[in-house]
Amino acid sequence: METILVTGGSGFIGTNFIKFVMENHPRWAVVNLDALTYAGNPENHRELERDDRYTFVQGNIADAGLLEKLFAAHRFSGVFHFAAETHVDRSITGPEVFLNTNIIGTFKLLEASLAHVRSVPDAPFRFLHVSTDEVYGSLGFKDPAFTETTPYDPSSPYSASKASSDHFVKAFHRTYGLDVVVTNCSNNYGPYQFPEKLIPLVILNILDNKPLPVYGKGENIRDWLYVKDHCDALVRVFLKGTSGGTYNIGGGEEKNNLAVVRAICDLVDKRTGRKSSSRELISYVQDRPGHDLRYAIDCAKAERSVGFKAQYSFEQALAATIDWYLDHMDWVRSVQTGAYRKWIETQYTTRGVK
């Protein structure tokens, strides 16, 4: 049995990743370190409370003393680093927390990992850093997709903080020889995503008969990656990736925001028997500052090197995602706190309808 540390394992992607590991990799035990900020939910793993392979620790990745104790107690064979502030809009209104978590937190985790490796030099260890395609900046409609050699050109405080953390991870490999791999993924969607993000926000606003906010004209394009495909890719990179390497992970499903919103409307209407089309709720709101036009991922390296290829079509996975939210409204309402409602009002309602 090997033990891995999963940071941010009670957030959206971390939650799905832990469930994927527990189901598919029985020789791995998991320590979930999560600070339980607004987007972290300990209820996500309630079924694992009595599983000897799962341990939850509430704490911050910037707490060097806590990290030292965890590494000493569990002698991790690997780290899957998900913990991060991730919402672009929040980074615009309050960027400092993104520096503290995404840069300082990653640095502290790297220091703890390096100290661990030096204390047990013959033990296997790998650090997998989960990043984003947003570090590459924006593409035009006809530009080729991002590759692993695309220069970094971040547009928001969020993507700038992730770009910095990427560089620190790679620097620890080049300077100290720490075994690291970096993954840059496209837009994830699926179960357990906090409803500030586009897909769950639209699903829930339809159910509540609220406006469906679309930035600008809805022309911004994203490559959509189902979270279960992402989890599969991460394990493959961890097991087969080249030390110091970077791997782009995408779903191969480029869609503009308006098309995504319309697809959600049609599927929710069909599943709920809504009499009037929820497309009538679409509202065009003032665009956000520095809104990247298009992201697109070239996954050729990951496909060639580690055997990754997305298994879910956008239509198939979107339907499964909608079904999950419709079947888990108790979870939804538990995370829709007063603070969440105030945030949504600030971000969208006060922007006005064009």
Dihedral of the alpha carbons of 229, 256, 130, 102, in degrees to the nearest 10: -150
Q: What residues contact 212, with CB distance under 8 A and at least 6 apart?
A: 202, 205, 206, 261, 265, 278, 281, 282, 283
Catalytic residue among 34, 85, 134, 292: 134
Report the alpha-carbon distance of residue 332 to residue 141 in Å, rounded: 35
Active site residue 134: yes
Catalytic residue among 34, 54, 85, 158: 158
One-letter amino acid at 244 equals G
C-alpha radius of gyration, the chain, whole number: 20
Active site residue 158: yes
3-state secondary structure 50-79: CCCCEEEEECCCCCHHHHHHHHHHHCCCEE
- Say how many CA atoms lie within 13 Å of 255 toward its Cβ: 21
Q: Strands, E, within 133-272: which ranges?
A: 180-185, 187-189, 212-215, 221-226, 246-249, 254-256
Strand partners, 284: 214
Sign of the alpha-carbon torsion through 156, 157, 158, 163: positive
3-state secondary structure 270-282: HHHCCCCCHHHHE
Catalytic residue among 34, 85, 133, 229: 133
Q: What residues contact 151, with CB distance under 8 A and at least 6 apart?
A: 136
Answer left, alpha or beta for residue 36, where phi above 0 means left and psi between -120 and 50 means alpha.
left
Dihedral of the alpha carbons of 11, 17, 20, 26, in degrees to the nearest 10: -110
Active site residues: 133-134, 158
